[in-house]
């Protein structure tokens, strides 16, 4: 049993897809451990995407992620990181298989509808950024 962070991106929230996306995770058997609708501040996004600093797409990524509200959530279950990434599909929505979240709801790499942690270590770091109230004290 482990946890992972998922962020439903601004374009997906604006399109009214949050409920459909959350349902996919719940139907798989993942449990919603925490959720919040929020406007992500640039500082949070810079910390979250620190490994991409200096790359050509970095500024656009921060601008896109800060362009509207996001729905951040912590999901838990057996091998949650792997389960979520499988449900999400390939990062590029045009390469994501039909039936995956990105394959069904995304069209562009910059608007691929969801972010998910890529490892248990990343999930722990990301959850502590987005949900500091859940950090072990």
Distances (CA, A) of 125 to 21, 42, 120, 135: 23, 17, 9, 10
Report the alpha-carbon distance of residue 126 to residue 137 in Å, rounded: 16
- Please check if 57 is assigned to a binding site: yes
- Please check if 131 is assigned to a binding site: no
Those residues whose C-beta lies under 8 Å from the C-beta of residue 79, and which sit 6 or more positions away, are 2
- Please check if 112 is assigned to a binding site: yes
- Please check if 91 is assigned to a binding site: yes
Contact 21, 8 (CB under 8 A): yes
- Please check if 9 is assigned to a binding site: yes
- Please check if 85 is assigned to a binding site: yes
Spatial CA neighbour of 64 closest among 120, 3, 115: 115
Catalytically annotated residues:
115
Those residues whose C-beta lies under 8 Å from the C-beta of residue 123, and which sit 6 or more positions away, are 2, 3, 4, 5, 80, 81, 117
* Binding site residue list: 9, 57, 85, 91, 102, 112
* Binding site residue list for ATP: 9, 57, 85, 91, 102, 112
């Amino acid at each position: 049993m482990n946890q992972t962070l998922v962020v439903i991106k601004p374009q997906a929230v604006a399109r009214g897809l949050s409920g459909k996306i959350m349902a996919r995770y719940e139907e798989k058997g993942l449990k919603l451990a925490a959720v919040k609708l929020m406007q992500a501040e640039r500082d949070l996004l810079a910390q979250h995407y620190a490994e991409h600093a200096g790359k050509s797409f970095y500024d656009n990524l921060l601008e896109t992620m800060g362009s509207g509200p996001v729905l951040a959530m912590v999901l838990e279950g057996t091998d949650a990181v792997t389960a979520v990434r499988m449900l999400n599909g390939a990062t590029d929505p045009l390469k994501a298989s039909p039936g995956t979240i990105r394959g069904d709801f995304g069209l562009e790499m910059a608007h691929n509808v969801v972010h998910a942690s890529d490892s248990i270590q990343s999930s722990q770091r990301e959850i502590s950024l987005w949900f500091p109230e859940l950090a072990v004290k």
